[in-house]
Structure 1
């Protein structure tokens, strides 16, 4: 890790990892909504809180930053889970046939 600071590429590594973390959450939103609906939002709340707490206790700026990015990406996923449900209702994404009644009962 020392050579990263020596070469001054911390920002580039944080940028690349941020891009990958956000990309990692994209399919998770789709799959989580498909299999669990919006009731799984609290998982992402707990992940976000855990990421913030971990970030506070890590002294390495690179790891701490990435934990912060992970935490706030988890918080953003809460919003995206509910937006994904709306996209499913619009027909943009497939509806889970096992939960079809859930969509029909709570249509907005």
Structure 2
């Protein structure tokens, strides 16, 4: 029974994190990745100090946050390709290399 529950929770997390990544990239750009890193580490640490189903769910949340770092970068590439809209109100940082 626990395997079925963990599978369902994993599916729900994938469904929840996908729009979160899209919205975060739209409003904050891919540079928000440290927030996902901190959340991922936090969830994984919490999973170490809990047991049973809660530990599994916290571990899934932690890994989902860490995977979202890569997805943020890929989402930025999809925006550059024109597959997703770019936020016209977001100010990009100055490029000091020019």
The TM-score normalised by the length of structure 1 is: 0.83
Structure 2 match to 1:89: 80
Which of 12, 15, 19 is 2:7 aligned to? Answer: 15
Question: Highest Rg: 1 or 2?
Answer: 1
Residue 38, structure 1, aligned to residue 35, structure 2: no
CA distance in 1, matches of 2:4, 2:47: 19
Paired residue for 2:48?
A: 56
Matching of residue 68 in structure 1 with residue 66 in structure 2: no
Number of aligned positions between the proteins = 94
Alignment of 1:102 with 2:85, yes or no, is no
Structure 2 portions without partners, runs of 5+: none
Unaligned runs of 5+ in 1: 1-8
| Equivalent position of 1:4 in the other structure | none
User: Counting helix residues as a fraction of each chain, which structure ranks higher?
Assistant: 1
